[in-house]
Amino acid sequence: MEKFKKIISSKKFTMTLSLVGLYLLATGISLALFTYFKKDSSTTTSTTDKTRSRINVDAPKTEACPINGMKYTNAEKEIWSKRRPITAMIENHADSRPASGLSKADVVYEAVAEGGITRFLGVFYCGVSAEEVQIAPVRSARIYFIDYASEYGDKPIFMHVGGANNFSGSGDTAKDVRALETLESLGWRVPKGNDFDTTYDSGFPVFWRNYERLDHTVATEHTMMASLDAAFAEAEKRGFAAKDENGDAWDENFVSWKFNDDKAQTPTAATISFAFWDNKPDYNVEWKYDSANNQYLRFNGGKEFVDLTTKKQLTSKNVVILFAKERGPVDRNLHMFYTTTGTGNAIVFQNGVAIKGTWSKKTRMDRTKFLDESGKEISFVRGTIWIEVVPSGNEVSYQ
């Protein structure tokens, strides 16, 4: 007994007991926090999940998406009508392929980010209503993508990981390509604003890194994922649901394109091919017409371009070539600049044929319009619209 008393009164025993106590306390706090955040996370998506459990995607598709005209069920419209569009930067570096979730975008823009390497801006609204969608890899913003995102109503959700900026006042980034400063000037980049940036005020459960997304090791910059359901839930918390805190709807000033039903014709443009930069074959694009489904199949760098989530090749009902004036690199960070306003030439591929025409966009916030050679606005076939921002003067072959 005396020996036991000596043990429990010893300094070593007291220290050990203290460490055990700290461990138990830390474990308890961790479990409490985990339970709290888990409960909080499930709460933010419970309404959507309950609604989705009643969705029959085989029900009559009577509701047209205002973004691309595609028809959906009334149950899906009930979900998207409570939200505003998400616009998200998704990379296309050859080492990051295949991308995740891009097949669920209503509209996709593609342009060079730097060095001939292209990047995407996905517009997600109607196509992500029936299921939870995760996208990857999310990357940094470029100013011309902000110009296109600005077309989607009042303060769309803009998701990215940093962007071109004048870091520490160094002057390394040319003034006219500073994406983050532009976001500030638009009023998007404020605490809890519609700018969702991992380097600013957004983290888990909206964003997280997944180093095992692909079946091989990749650089850290290719690993950022995002949950669109979590982003929609966070947007609602911030006052950016379908209506803002003042009751103003996101689409009060939104201008929709015109849409038509499928009207397949004898194909005269069954294969479309072009390069963004001649010395970057990994980013050369081909679209091949699938007459059975009246759509185009995407190939990138000579390979089928698939979605990692669905394992299916990406398709589009409409492929738009938007010829834009290219300038750059404009600084030592190799940033490029593409003119998004004014007018330029365009080719719209749909129904297996090519429609030559022009594009016009008055200001950053205005909608890009596509006109045929007679000056009439081109109607898109209901479904995905893929806009390829190609440097003016580049050759686009089709037959």
Tens of pLDDT, residue by residue over 288-332, are 999 999 999 999 999 999 999 999 999 999 999 999 999 999 999
CA atoms within 13 A on the CB side of 150: 22
Record the tokens describing residue 166, joined without a space: 């004048």
Q: What is the mean pLDDT of residues 135-144?
A: 98
Burial (Cβ within 10 Å: 0-12, 13-18, ≥19) of residue 144: buried
Is residue 4 over pLDDT 80? no
Binning pLDDT at 50, 70 and 90, where does residue 387 land?
Answer: very high
From 38, 78, 37, select the one nearest 56 (Cα to Cα). 78
Binning pLDDT at 50, 70 and 90, where does residue 31 land?
Answer: very low
pLDDT number for residue 166: 75
Give percent above pLDDT 90 in the chain: 82
Q: What is the mean pLDDT of residues 19-38?
A: 35
Rounded to an integer, what distance in angstroms lies between the CA atom of residue 371 and that of residue 378? 5
Binning pLDDT at 50, 70 and 90, where does residue 259 land?
Answer: very high
pLDDT number for residue 12: 42
- Confirm if 336 and 114 have CB atoms less than 8 A apart: yes
The pLDDT mean for the chain works out to 89
Is residue 8 over pLDDT 60? no
Q: Which residue has the higher pLDDT, 166 or 355?
A: 355
Query: H-helix or E-strand containing 390?
Result: strand 385-391
Q: What is the mean pLDDT of residues 167-172?
A: 69
Q: What is the mean pLDDT of residues 368-384?
A: 98
Is residue 40 over pLDDT 60? no
Q: Which residue has the higher pLDDT, 213 or 50?
A: 213
pLDDT number for residue 17: 37
Q: What is the pLDDT of residues 82-105, one digit of tens each?
A: 999 999 999 999 999 999 999 999
Q: What is the mean pLDDT of residues 200-205?
A: 95
